[in-house]
A and B are shown apart, each in its own frame.
Chain A
Amino acid sequence: MKTRSLAILFLVGTGISGCTFEDGKPWGEVVFELQSDFDRDDRGDDWLQTSKDYDVVLTTLKLDLTTIDLNIAGEEGVLSFDPANPPEGYSLCHNGHCHAADGSLVAYETISAELAVGGTGETLVGAVDATIDFLNPSEIPVDCGSCEVGRGTLAAFTMRASRIRIEGTAFDRRLAPRIPEDGLPFTIDMPLTAEASQTLTGEREIGRDTPVGILVPGYFTIHARLLDQIDFANLHGTQMDLLEALETSISIERFEP
């Protein structure tokens, strides 16, 4: 009798452990295929116009990336917010963005990502720790270990940067130039705490009936409007908001390894 009970317990136990343990496969296995990119925003090919009336010839635009995370919400973690009832810290949501308390406009996707990151679930942390060139688009290496994730819903993607380096030469378009007429060579090399998130869409579910392979392709794009934030006549007074000029375009594709 005791033996039969143990047998039943064993069978129940193996049943609970689920199919992932039976065949040795994880619920999901992530593969990153990420690239850097630079968008000139139709401001010229070699000389980039800025809204402060400068022309800039860029020679370097690099970011030190530290980590890239994937947040997997628990199965009950459906991410949502109603623009008619903006989440705390926001007001007046419409046309794809909400007004933050500081007056900035924040896209619905970013707000959803915030909610996701703050939710309960698992986070796959991918280490990058590399300097990424944005003028010469390159692949971004991500070390996520086994890259295995549990079941749930792929929710958000977060990228963190720790330093930016911009080099080039600036020219003044004004008749009364504010910097040397033959151009001002410059270097901006500064640490930063930068964190950009994006809500994920597409085949987000990770479960028994979904492919194990999770390909995460995408681009990190810095727009030329980043240069609008720089007054080359007063470099040390420049304040930069990288998020305003950084676009993440991440998608999900599923496959059977």
Chain B
Amino acid sequence: MKTADWPDETEVHMKKHLSIALALVLGMSLTACGDEHDDHEDNNHANHTNVETPEEEACEHMEEGPFQDVTAAEDSTGTLENIAVPHTRMDVALAGEGADRGGVVSFEASEAGEYTFYLSQDVGFELADSNAMVLTPEASAGPVSLCATAILATHTFDLQVGTYTITMGPADLETLAVIFEAGEHEH
């Protein structure tokens, strides 16, 4: 049996918060019962959800970020960088020179369903599963009307949970910006 036995100092960090020691109950209790505070107006915007279409989301992130740099590998034989970072514009530095630039990255799909990739340039974009079987897009389209100068091409694929390779190019382009939005999920 293979065992991963991390040293004690290894820590998996979740969100760190400040803790508060137990406060005095008495102090709070001394306030009179009759001065009941007005109901707090719930100013917490946590549940305010702005419903955006995938295109609106994609345009927003393409123009405003956040941004993350990754580097495409020349081929799929080595370790590939995963660009499945939600709500983030992935700026993929292409390998090679001149008009033959291109490269390969990976995409780890964590849910089965429809994924749409939004590209800053209309360049070659091929997606294959981990056994090198190339998938045919469910749909492909040109510029997104909401941000026609920022997103010039889209490709939609039906993916299963798993790792895919994305091959981009050739193109006379140093960096290709890519954003994905997950659509309808299989259940």
Please list the residues of chain A having a beta carbon within 8 angstroms of any beta carbon in chain B. 15-21, 26-27, 41-43, 49-53, 69, 71, 74-75, 78-83, 91-92, 94-97, 99, 103, 105-114, 117-118, 120-125, 148-153, 158, 164, 173-175, 184-197, 199, 201, 204-205, 207-209, 225, 228, 235-236, 238-243, 246
Bound-complex Cα distance A106 to B7 (A) = 29
Q: Report the nearest B residue to A161, measured CB to CB.
A: B14
Size category of the binding interface on chain B: 35 or more
Pairwise interchain contact A122-B163, C-beta atoms closer than 8 A: no
Residues from chain A with a CB closer than 8 A to the CB of B108 are 51-52, 228
Bound-complex Cα distance A81 to B44 (A) = 6
For the A-B complex with A174-B131, A185-B1 known, give 13 more contacts whose Cβ atoms are closer than 8 Å: A19-B33, A41-B111, A42-B185, A51-B163, A80-B42, A83-B48, A96-B49, A106-B15, A108-B48, A193-B16, A195-B14, A196-B14, A236-B4
Bound-complex Cα distance A125 to B2 (A) = 38
Pairwise interchain contact A150-B1, C-beta atoms closer than 8 A: no
Query: Contact partner of A150 among B25, B45, B112, CB < 8 A?
Result: B25
Bound-complex Cα distance A95 to B181 (A) = 13
Q: Report the nearest B residue to A158, measured CB to CB.
A: B17
Pairwise interchain contact A190-B4, C-beta atoms closer than 8 A: yes
Query: Contact partner of A95 among B5, B49, B131, CB < 8 A?
Result: B49
Bound-complex Cα distance A23 to B27 (A) = 18
Pairwise interchain contact B19-A69, C-beta atoms closer than 8 A: yes
Pairwise interchain contact A15-B32, C-beta atoms closer than 8 A: yes
